[in-house]
């Protein structure tokens, strides 16, 4: 069998405190599946984090410290698209049915389970995993289109918030890659949507908030309405719950975040929370070493791995050397270049923040709202080849 064929086999994780039994299953099904074995729920969760795209987890019900139903409920939190199957003796059928009814598992098998029935469950589980992934792709594409439409409106009405949303998306994407959870689309969606509440305030107030300038009583009251406006705007969009849960978790206490561990929502909230803090400190001119020091001071909230990821990502970011900067009319800039300055209209209102990536969409938007700006010279960094 070629290496390519082996890699294409569905990944299956057997979890049973009788490790010998798991090894027997592994030997029987290794020709058709990439099989892994764990002897406890804790070991199973560790392997789930290490392995890529586990299609099926099969767990015994009766295990010490963490029973199979509890373990599979944890699997659902860590890897929602992994199909979960529970093995149980006749004395555990009632509890297994309860687990099925709560939506924690795909199906349950009674022990001893005939091999043909076991094989049929694996085939059905792989097909269910394929369907779940197909549904996820359709849902993801639909939601991304909805979010893109919202961002287009935000770009026109509040460029400060729009620029920050784009930076946050890029930051959480880099952090997710460093943390080996790339493709975390729910987090990227949450990063973009974290700024939509700024529809409720004008660009001038958003700029004051962004740069940490002092607000008067009226401005502070308006700024306080931003989260509520975001919630009202987003709560009725179907299938957006994962991103909204991450945004809601930003308000959790440090203790609540720590208790939730590395589940999708809490991990997403820790990554996005760190990205928000980095962006705020950067906007106020805080040097990189002090930013990292500030994050380490809040390690109890963000976690050691996330803080280390921030240090790695910030450390990799390099300022553009002055001799590589280009100056040219905005209309002659190229897609992929980055602005090294703000762009403002004749009245001084911010149109595009520094650091923004040039795109045809940006040029089209400027041509509609402030066409004279296109002839202004701007400093940009070269597009990456």
Q: Which of 2-16, 118-132, 134-148, 182-196 has the highest mean pLDDT?
A: 118-132
Average pLDDT over residues 238-246: 81
Q: Are 339 and 354 in contact (CB under 8 A)?
A: yes
Q: Which of 92-96, 174-178, 204-208 has the lowest mean pLDDT?
A: 92-96
Average pLDDT of span 348-375: 84
**What is the rounded average pLDDT for all residues in the chain?**
84
- Strands 83-88 vs 54-60: parallel, antiparallel or unpaired: parallel
Q: What percent of the chain has pLDDT over 90?
A: 29
User: Is 105's pLDDT higher than 80?
Assistant: yes
Cβ pair 286, 266 in contact under 8 A = no
Beta bridge partners of residue 352, listed in sequence order? 343
Q: Where are the beta strands (DSSP E) in the chain?
A: 11-15, 34-38, 54-60, 83-88, 107-110, 326-329, 338-339, 343-344, 350-352, 377-381
Beta bridge partners of residue 327, listed in sequence order: 379
DSSP class of residue 357? B
Question: Per-residue pLDDT averaged across 299-303, rounded?
Answer: 92
pLDDT average, residue stretch 213-235: 85
Average pLDDT of the residues in 223-239: 80
Residue 8, C-beta contacts closer than 8 angstroms, at least 6 positions apart: none
Q: How confident is the model at residue 308 (pLDDT cuts 50, 70, 90)?
A: very high
Percent of the chain with pLDDT over 70: 91
Residue written as tokens 């698209």?
Answer: 81
Residue 66 phi/psi, 5-degree rounding, is -145, 110
How crowded is residue 163: how many other Cβ atoms within 10 Å of its Cβ?
A: 26
Please report, for residues 15, 111, 198, 232, 384, the alpha-carbon distance to residue 21 in angstroms, rounded to integers and kept in the order given: 10, 12, 57, 52, 54
What's the confidence (pLDDT) of residue 276?
94
- When the candidates are 3.30.530.50, 3.30.160.20, 1.10.3720.10, 3.40.50.2300, the CATH number that belongs to 3-132 is 3.40.50.2300
**288 C-beta neighbours (distance < 10 Å), count:** 15
Domain ranges of the chain: 3-132, 158-317, 320-385
State the pLDDT at residue 2.
40
- Is the pLDDT at 15 greater than 80? The verdict is yes
pLDDT band at 37 (very low <50, low <70, confident <90, very high): very high
CB contact set of 216 (below 8 Å; sequence gap of 6+)? none
Per the CB < 8 A criterion, the answer to whether 345 and 351 are in contact is yes
Greatest Cα pair distance in the chain: 78
pLDDT category at 5 given cuts 50, 70, 90 is: very low
Q: What is the 3-state secondary structure (H, E, C) of 296-324?
A: HHCHHHHCHHHHHHHHHHHHHCCCCCHHH
Question: CA-to-CA distance for 100 and 198, rounded, in angstroms?
Answer: 42
pLDDT at 94: 64
Three-state secondary structure call for residue 329 = strand
Question: Residue 344: exposed, middle, or buried by beta-carbon count in 10 A (0-12, 13-18, 19+)?
Answer: middle
Say how many residues make up the chain: 385
60: DSSP letter? E
């Amino acid at each position: 069998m070629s290496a390519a064929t082996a890699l294409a086999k569905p990944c299956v994780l057997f979890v049973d405190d009788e490790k010998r039994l798991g090894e027997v299953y592994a030997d029987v099904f290794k020709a058709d599946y990439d099989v892994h074995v764990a002897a406890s729920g804790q070991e199973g969760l560790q392997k789930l984090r290490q392995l890529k795209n586990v299609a099926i987890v099969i767990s015994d019900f009766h295990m010490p410290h963490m029973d199979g139903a509890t373990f599979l409920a944890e699997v659902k939190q860590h890897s929602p698209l992994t199909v979960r199957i529970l093995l149980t003796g006749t004395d555990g059928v009632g509890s297994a049915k309860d687990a099925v009814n709560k939506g924690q598992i795909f199906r349950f098998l009674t022990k001893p389970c005939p091999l043909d029935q076991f094989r049929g469950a694996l085939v059905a589980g792989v097909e269910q995993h394929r369907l779940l992934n197909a549904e996820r792709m359709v849902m993801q594409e639909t939601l991304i289109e909805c979010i893109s439409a919202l961002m287009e409106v935000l770009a026109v009405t509040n460029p400060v918030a729009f620029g920050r949303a784009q930076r946050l998306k890029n930051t959480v994407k880099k952090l997710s890659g460093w943390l080996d959870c790339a493709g975390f689309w729910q987090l990227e969606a949450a990063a973009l949507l974290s700024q939509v509440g700024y529809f409720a305030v004008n660009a001038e107030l958003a700029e004051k908030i962004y740069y940490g300038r002092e607000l008067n009583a009226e401005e502070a009251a308006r700024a306080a309405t931003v989260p509520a406006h975001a919630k009202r705007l987003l709560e009725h969009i179907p299938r957006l719950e994962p991103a909204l849960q991450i945004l809601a978790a930003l308000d959790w206490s440090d203790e609540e975040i720590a208790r939730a561990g590395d589940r999708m929502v809490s991990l997403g909230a820790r990554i996005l929370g760190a990205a928000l803090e980095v962006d705020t400190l950067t906007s106020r001119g805080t040097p990189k070493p002090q930013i990292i020091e500030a994050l380490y001071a809040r390690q109890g909230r963000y976690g050691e791995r996330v803080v280390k990821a921030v240090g790695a990502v910030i450390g990799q970011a390099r300022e553009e050397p002055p001799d590589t900067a280009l100056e040219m009319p905005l209309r002659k800039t190229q897609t992929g270049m980055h602005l090294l300055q703000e762009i403002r209209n004749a009245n001084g209102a911010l149109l595009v923040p520094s650091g923004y990536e040039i795109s045809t969409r940006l040029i089209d938007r400027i041509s509609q709202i402030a066409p004279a700006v296109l002839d202004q010279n701007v400093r940009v960094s070269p597009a990456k080849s």
